Amino acid sequence: MTDRQYPIPSDFASVSNLKPSDYRTLYERSVTDREGFFRDQGARVHWMTAPSHVGDWSFESPVKIEWYKDGVLNVTESCLDRHLETRGDKVAILFEGDEPGNSRKLTYRELHGEVCRFANVLKARGATKGDRITLYMPMIPEAAVAMLACARIGAVHSVVFGGFSPEALAGRIVDCDSHILITADEGVRGGRTVPLKVNADAACQIAAKAGVSVDTQLVVRRTGGDVSWDADRDVWLHEAVASVSGDCSPEPMSAEDPLFILYTSGSTGQPKGVLHTCGGYLVWAAMTHDYVFDLKEDDVYWCSADVGWVTGHTYIVYGPLANGATTVMFEGIPTYPDASRFWQVCDDHQVTLFYTAPTAIRALMREGDGPVQKTSRSSLRLLGTVGEPINPEAWEWYFHTVGEGRCPIIDTWWQTETGGAMIVPLPGTTPMKPGAGTFPMFGVEPALVDADGNTLSGATEGNLILKTSWPGQMRTVYGDHERFEQTYFSTYPGSYFTGDGARRDEDGMYWITGRVDDVINVSGHRMGTAEVESALGSHPSVAESAVVGYPHNIKGQGIYAYVTTTAGTEETDALKAELVKHVRTEIGPIASPDLIQFSSGLPKTRSGKIMRRILRKIAANDYGNLGDTSTLADPSVVDALIDGRMSG
Ligand code: WTA
């Protein structure tokens, strides 16, 4: 790890909203007078009834987390209505399609109208407050409109990433008992179509077998491609909106009513439905979006994530719209039609704030400086990253080649569970070190602990916990509060365990080192090894499997699967290909194993527990320090695995 340090670029420092001393003052107040600090922050959103409570929470069992609990609001009033008077004609969503030149602007007034009409369509199909509505959408403005329409009527949206398979989509529909599904005929990415309606239809069938019937499928026409149609269930959005009013009054919601569920992978079992509520989440989204991006009124802000992930929720939709910003929505991919696309879009729309993932930076870096240098990028003033640790090489390239040394690199560490950014070099407040998350966001109190939960002080490395609650914290796992407590609060009782490891250096800066549990991070996407194992295990030729992450140049981590086949199975390359295909069908392309190794045995302890530490080392081609293997039931499997790895 390089510990090179860069000062705040001087042009940026002279106009930044926050100065170094502001960070110290605000942080100090946020932890010594939390009530006062977060009462003030609460004013960032529009309340129908202002809250008298601020934070009411306990990390001791029974875990309870409430913020602003007697406040009443509807998040869409903060994101839309309140802007109409002063920002009605300001662009709210700037859509850039997959094909260059295909762009569309929606002002706050237009977005407000579309959301109200969409909300009325949902009402006409019987949706009411508290209903769960699933979205399976491409990156088009209608995705944001649909999310806000749900919020308008008090329904709880569950957005499922458009790259997930019908099986995975169905699992999520069933888990939250959702009877309305919003999708599109097809998506378009990198010049190819994605068969969303076909997948959605298949998911409805699978869900029906599990006892959950989708009564309404609301379909956005994106490509006009042929789709099959169930007249009882399917409704074209463009037809339905024609017959509804453009007025829809916002449903009054308690601050602690649910806003959305977002499924995410954990170290065990099936994905869990992370639940966020209206009040605290919106305050956190608005506050962090403002501070993290040094937001100014005329910024053009672009977060290149997908709305299917939490980054899209907080930093494409809720944060920017609550702050009255112009938010870019990009349908395509960084390399289509070529590797200069990101920077071309920045030039075309004069983007000032840009936020992307390290995996995209690494993929573009591989293409060399040429595609970057043929663009101007002169509008850019801040560059952000999220989703995985950024390696210093990628950081340096982003800083020097893309930003030409003018733009601070804002590396934001956070999680689906945290709702918004938690450890971040707030722009204008701190020098930067390539790869360091630096310091905690206001109100965030991180600590490093050892395996026994002892708090470590000074420059050290350990497991990252958070000692106190913040408004954007998830409230529960949908339908399973016990799993919530078990997952996050049982490892280090009284604290929230992040699942990440971190180092703290001599300057007190935090460096996130990655997951310390059985979650792997593939191109910034979270994947549970147990999920991939369960997908592999459902193939008839697989007797047993163990999945681990291994270092991958572009993806950060790749998926490595050790597979023991059933007796008599021929272990061929064709079978490997079939297993990859099988996982894609069960979960989706993002879960595809990058490497499969057939192995007649797995390293197990005498009690039958697989020693993943050994498997991780072998997958990483790191055979020198395998640690103690004497507790293995059969130590000879290790040599066989190494032989297999070396010849594979
Ligand atoms: C990892 C994405 C290092 C981390 C917002 C975390 C990061 C997981 C960073 C959450 C970062 C995210 N530096 N690691 N800047 N950002 N991570 O829920 O392991 O999709 O626990 O949320 O991504 O992934 P999730």
pLDDT in tens, 118-172: 999 999 999 999 999 999 999 999 999 999 999 999 999 999 999 999 999 999 9
Phi–psi pair at 193, nearest 5 degrees: -90, 150
Which of 262, 276, 415 most suits a substitution to test ligand 1, by most atoms within 8 Å of the C-beta? 415
Burial 9-34 (b: 16+ CB within 10 A, else e): beebeeebebeeeebeebbeebbeeb
- SS3 state of residue 411: strand
Q: What is the mean pLDDT of residues 393-422?
A: 98
Q: 514: alpha, beta or left, given left = phi > 0 and alpha = psi -120 to 50?
A: left
pLDDT at res. 1: 47
Q: What is the mean pLDDT of residues 531-535?
A: 96
Structure tokens at 592: 């595809």
Chain mean pLDDT for the chain:
97
**List of residues 6+ apart from 627 with CB closer than 8 A:** 613, 614, 617
- SS3 state of residue 490: coil
pLDDT at res. 270: 87
Distance CA 336, CA 613 (A): 38
ipTM beyond cut 0.90: yes
Q: Which residue shows structure tokens 């630096």? A: 438
pLDDT at res. 108: 98
CB atoms within 10 A of CB 508: 11
Residues 256-289: tens digit of each pLDDT = 999 999 999 988 878 999 999 999 999 999 999 9
**Residue 411 annotated as lining a ligand binding site:** yes
Say if CB 106 and CB 141 are below 8 A apart: yes
Residue 648 has pLDDT above 80, yes or no: no
Residue 477 pLDDT level (bands cut at 50, 70, 90): very high
Residue 2 has pLDDT above 70, yes or no: no
Longest Cα separation, the chain: 73
**Residue 334 annotated as lining a ligand binding site:** no
Cα 158 from chain centre:
13
Residues 100-120: tens digit of each pLDDT = 999 999 999 999 999 999 999
The residue type found at 280 is: G
Residues 567-622: tens digit of each pLDDT = 999 999 999 999 999 999 999 999 999 999 999 999 999 988 899 999 999 999 99
**Residue 141 annotated as lining a ligand binding site:** no
In 3D space, the residue among 34, 580, 111, 554 whose CA is nearest the CA of residue 324 turns out to be: 111
Question: Ligand 1 centroid vs 161 CA: distance in angstroms?
Answer: 17
Residues 40-95: tens digit of each pLDDT = 999 999 999 999 999 999 999 999 999 999 999 999 999 999 999 999 999 999 99
**Residue 88 annotated as lining a ligand binding site:** no
Angle at 275 between CA 144 and CA 220, to 5 degrees: 25
- SS3 state of residue 488: helix
pLDDT at res. 631: 86
In 3D space, the residue among 514, 495, 519, 491 whose CA is nearest the CA of residue 447 turns out to be: 495
Residue 633 has pLDDT above 60, yes or no: yes
The finding on whether 311 has its CB within 6 A of some atom of ligand 1 is yes
Q: Looking at ligand 1, which atom is closest to the CA of residue 515?
A: 19
CB atoms within 10 A of CB 592: 18
First to last CA, the chain: 30
Structure tokens at 78: 């903060």
Say if CB 343 and CB 402 are below 8 A apart: yes
Nearest CA to ligand 1 atom 11: 413
**List of residues 6+ apart from 281 with CB closer than 8 A:** 259, 318, 419, 471, 472
**List of residues 6+ apart from 393 with CB closer than 8 A:** 365
Distance CA 325, CA 93 (A): 9
Nearest CA to ligand 1 atom 15: 413
Which of 306, 414, 523 most suits a substitution to test ligand 1, by most atoms within 8 Å of the C-beta? 414
Q: Looking at ligand 1, which atom is closest to the CA of residue 526?
A: 20
The finding on whether 521 has its CB within 6 A of some atom of ligand 1 is yes
- SS3 state of residue 184: strand
CA atoms within 13 A on the CB side of 229: 9
| Residue-level length of the chain | 648
The finding on whether 264 has its CB within 6 A of some atom of ligand 1 is yes
pLDDT at res. 191: 97
Nearest CA to ligand 1 atom 6: 415
The finding on whether 411 has its CB within 6 A of some atom of ligand 1 is yes
**Residue 406 annotated as lining a ligand binding site:** no
Residue 553 has pLDDT above 90, yes or no: yes
Nearest CA to ligand 1 atom 7: 388
Question: Ligand 1 centroid vs 386 CA: distance in angstroms?
Answer: 7
**Residue 125 annotated as lining a ligand binding site:** no
